[in-house]
Amino acid sequence: MITQDQSEVVAFVSGPHVPEVIETHISRIFLVGERAYKMKRAVKLPYVDFSTAELRLAACEKEVKLNSLTAPGLYLGVKRIMRDRNGRIAYNQGDELVDAVIEMVRFDQEALFDRMAGDGKLDDELMTRTARMIASFHRGAPTIHRGSGSENIAAVLRVNAAGFATSRLFDPVELADFKRAFEQNLTAYAPLLDAREGAGKIKRCHGDLHLRNICLLNGEPRLFDCIEFNDQIAIVDTLYDLAFLLMDLWHRGFPHFANLIMNRYLDETGDEDGFGLLPYFMAIRAAVRAHVTATQIEESGKPADAHPLVAEARSYFDLALSLLTRKPPRLIVIGGLSGSGKTTVAEILASRLGSPPGARIIESDRVRKAMYGVAAEARLSVDAYRPEVSEWVYGEMARRTFAVLSAGGSVVAEAVFDNVAKRERIEAVACKAHVPYAAVWLDAHPSVLRRRVAGRTAGPSDAGLEVLSRQLDYDLSDIDWHRMDADRPASDMVTDILKLSRTV
C-alpha cells in the first residue's frame, strides 16, 4: 500500500501531467518527458526495508553508484524530496526529508530485452554480445569472502522460505516438500559450492539479472536495476547470478538462447567446474520468482484464485521443482569435414540434451581461439594449425568433456575428428566417465561443402576452400561412426541424432 506521504510524493513527481507508471513490488517508475523517475515503495519485506525516507534515500544513492558501472549514461543522479517549514515540498530544498527519487534518462521500453523477446527481436549475435558483456562484468566484480559457499546459498534458501511464508497461495504441505528438496540438493552440492567460494567465485554481482533488467543503450546490451537494497542477495556465486537470465529465457520458451548464453559465457570465463550447479541455481531463481509473484498477489488485496498472476506464480514453482530432477549425462560427438554443418547442428542440438540449460558445446575452433587468447571470430595464422597445436586442442577437448560429464552435465563435442587417434580419444572419455555416447559423422557432397565454406561470414572456423581441398583428400574409409547425410536441413539431422542417442 502507498502511505499518505508517498501519495503526496507521487503527485509531486507526476507534476501537472499524468505520467506513464511502471510498478514493481518494491518501486514505481514515472515516465515524464525525456526522464524517468524511480521511487522506492515504503515497504518492509523479509529481504528489503524501505520503511523510512532515510532508508529509501540511501538505497537510491547506492543504486545510482552501482548501476552507473554497467549502464553508463543512464543514471543521472538522486533527487531528495524535501518539505519546508510552510509544508511545501520541492527537490533538494527544505528542512525535512520526505522521500527520494532516482533521475534517469528515459529510453524506449521496446529496448528492454523482455519486450524484445516477446517481439522476436533477440538473435544469436545479440545473445553472444550479451554473454560476453556479463562475463566482462563478472571478471571485474569485487570478490567477497563472507563465509562458505554453501552457507551463501543456504542464506538464499532462507530468504525464499521467508518470502513464501508471506503468501497463502501455496499449500503448506507442498511448501514443506519444496523446501526439503532444495535443502537436500544443497547438502549434495556443498563441497563444490565451498570450493568455488575458496576460488573467489563469490562476488558483488548484479543480483537480479533477468531479461527485464537488460536493455539496448546506443546499440549495446547493458545491465541496469541491480540489487542495491540487500547485499546478501547480490553477493553470490557468479554462476548463480547468470542463472537468473538462463532461467528467465527457459521459462519464456527460449531454450536455445539460454543454452547459447551459457556456452558463450563459459567460453569467455572457462568456469566449467561449476557447470553441474546450473540446474540447481536455475531452480533457486525460479523459486525466487515464484515467491516474489506470490507476494505481489498477496499485497494486491484481491482474492488469490481470481488474480491474473496466479498462473505465473505456479508456473515458476513447477519449473523450480522440475529443475531439481536431473537428467543423466550423455555425450554426443559430431565429426565431419569443413562445411558439413557441425557447428549449426551442435548449437541446435545442445538445448535439447541434458538438464536445463542444456549441453555444454566443446568445439575445437573455439578451444583453439581461447588457447591463443583471441575472440572466436578472430583469424589465426597457419602456425596455429600445426600438428602439435592440434594435438593439444584435441587433448583439451577431451579434458573439458570429461570434467563436464563427471560433474553430471551433458556434452556435444564437435570437431573434424579426421583420424582414428582423435576419434578414439573422445570415445575413451565417455567410457572413463561411464556415460552413454553417440558418435556421428556428417557426410555431404564436395560441391555442397565448397558452397557452404565459400559462403561463410565471420565465425569461429578459419577453414577456407584451400583447407577444404586438403580435407577432401583424406582417407575416411575407416570411420566406424554413424554416418549421416548432411546435405539437408540441420533440424532434420538433429532429430535423427536424438533418435540415435536414445538407442545407446
**Which residue intervals of 310-384 are DSSP H helices?**
310-323, 342-350, 364-371
pTM as predicted: 0.91
Rounded distance between C-alpha atoms, residue 299 and residue 296, angstroms: 5
Residue 180 neighbours by CB distance under 10 Å: 10
Burial of 346 (0-12, 13-18, 19+ CB in 10 A): buried
Query: First vs last Cα of the chain: how many Å apart?
Result: 58
Q: Which bin fits 175, alpha (ψ -120 to 50), beta or left (φ > 0)? A: alpha
Rounded distance, CA 258 to CA 124, Å? 11
Alpha-carbon distance values, 349 to 376, 414, 423, 483 (Å): 20, 11, 20, 17
Burial 185-207 (b: 16+ CB within 10 A, else e): bbeebbebbbebbeeebbbbbbb
Q: For the chain, 504 residues long, give each residue's pLDDT as a single digit of tens.
A: 444 457 777 777 776 666 788 888 789 898 888 899 999 999 888 778 999 999 999 999 999 999 999 999 999 999 999 998 888 888 999 889 989 999 999 998 899 999 999 999 999 999 999 999 999 999 999 999 999 999 999 999 998 998 888 888 888 999 999 999 999 999 999 999 999 999 999 999 999 999 999 999 999 999 999 999 988 889 999 999 999 999 999 999 999 999 999 999 999 999 999 999 999 999 999 999 999 888 888 776 666 666 778 899 999 999 999 999 989 999 999 999 999 999 999 999 999 999 999 999 999 999 999 999 998 889 889 888 999 999 999 999 999 999 999 999 999 999 999 899 999 999 999 999 999 999 999 999 999 999 999 888 778 887 888 888 888 888 888 899 999 999 999 999 999 999 998 876
Q: Which three cell numbers stand for residue 455?
A: 559462403
- Whether the Cβ atoms of residue 202 and residue 196 lie closer than 8 Å to each other: yes
Q: How far is 342 from 424, CA to CA, in rounded Å?
A: 19
Which element (helix H / strand E) includes 117?
A: helix 113-118
Domains of the chain: 4-106 (3.30.200), 113-323 (3.90.1200.10), 331-501 (3.40.50.300)
